[in-house]
Amino acid sequence: MRSPVVLLAAPRSFCAGVERAIEIVERALAQRGRPVYVRKQIVHNAHVVADLETRGAVFVDELAEVPPGATVVFSAHGVSPAVRTEAAERNLSVIDATCPLVTKVHAEARRFAARGDTVLLVGHAGHEEVEGTLGEAPSQTILVADVAQARTVTVPDPSRVSYLTQTTLAVDETAEILAVLRSRFPALRGPASDDICYATTNRQESLSTVAAEADLVLVVGSTNSSNSVRLVELARRAGKPAYLIDDAGDIRPEWLEGVRTVGVTAGASAPPRLVDEVVAALGPDTVLERETATESIRFTLPPAVRRP
């Protein structure tokens, strides 16, 4: 298995919200000992979850699986107020690893609903982040998943309507959905700054540059990682064959037949070492990087784990 040129997209791999969430679990384990329970996958990556499991993290789907009084970490995708209430009722010691950029969307949902608006939440049904945001004002929020739903959604009062988006959507597809909503609801109001986060936007921009030059695109990430799946779709919309791989072991030799240049990137929840392993497996003569942005954002840790 060999390809002459590998083009690396940059930025790629871990974002500030993912690094913070993983560090929170690591610190909780160091400070409180094992087990530390984590509600849902801390971030959507099979390798990250497996690694933390070996170190004492116990991942659960529901708080009912956590013994009363135990420590539980909320994942980077955020939770609804109902989950916070349940945690308090079960007397759990909560450490919140919700990405601050998801917390921002929750605050907007509360603010928009409080002024009496119907909130149109653009996002994917069933995604944990969407479920958490919907839970802020369930009776006033309507999920809009695509352009077709944007064309048909109805609201009680078209003069009082706002929108929010999931943080990990495709920038181009979301712009189409919002254009439809704006044309149907001229009074539509939105957040002061985009909800699609800097990391999602940057990874899509760098991948677009790489896909333009590549014969094949490989995206390192897990199938439940929204921003990773969006990267694959973006490359395919650019007309290039693209595959989502959890690690180098998923690369199929037939994908590389006749391929000279392989574009490689990784979703925001995929560890950088997996990218290194993919590049090593491809065995290229040349590795080039296409950097379209630099990232220096860091988020502070929650007080519960801030001491070293």
Catalytic residues: 129
Residue 264 interacting with ligand SF4 (CB under 6 A): no
CA distance to 64, 110, 277, per residue, from 268 (Å): 29, 27, 17
Residues 6+ apart with CB under 8 A from 156: 118
Interacting span for ligand SF4 (CB under 6 A) from 47-55, 94-102, 151-159, 214-222 = 94-102
- Read off the tokens for 154: 């109805």
Of 5, 11, 13, 17, the one binding ligand SF4 by CB under 6 A: 17
For ligand SF4, which residue of 36, 76, 144, 266 counts as binding (CB under 6 A)? 76
Residue where the block lists tokens 């395919």: 236
> What is the size of the binding site for ligand SF4 (CB under 6 A)?
15
Query: By CB under 6 A, is residue 101 in contact with ligand SF4?
Result: yes
Which residue of the chain is nearest ligand SF4 when measured via CB? 17
Q: What's phi and psi for 24, nearest 5 deg?
A: -60, -45
Does 109 contact ligand SF4 by CB under 6 A?
A: no
* x/- track of binding to ligand SF4 for residues 207-236 (CB under 6 A): --------------------x---------
Binding of residue 25 to ligand SF4 (CB under 6 A): no
Question: Which of these segments, 15-23, 204-212, 257-265, 288-296, binds ligand SF4 (CB under 6 A)?
Answer: 15-23
**Closest C-alpha among 12, 13, 59, 20 to residue 40:** 59
- Closest CB to ligand SF4 among residues 208, 227: 227
Task: Using the structure block, give the residue that is written with the tokens 């333009």.
Answer: 212
User: Residue type at 172?
Assistant: D
For residue 42, state whether it binds ligand SF4 (rule: CB under 6 A): no
Tokens of 35: 């087990």
Distance (Å, whole) CA 228 – CA 223: 8
Query: What are residue 230's phi and psi, to 5 degrees?
Result: -60, -35
Q: Is the dihedral of CA 6, 11, 14, 19 positive or negative?
A: positive
Residue 233 CA to residue 248 CA, distance in Å, equals 20
Q: Which of 15, 25, 177, 305 binds ligand SF4 (CB under 6 A)?
A: 15
Query: Residue 76 or residue 181: which is nearer to ligand SF4 going by CB?
Result: 76
- Shortest Å, Cβ 239 to ligand SF4: 26
Integer angstrom CA distances of residue 301 from 41, 213, 298: 19, 39, 9
Interacting residues toward ligand SF4 by CB under 6 A = 15-18, 76, 99, 101-102, 167-168, 197, 199-200, 227, 268
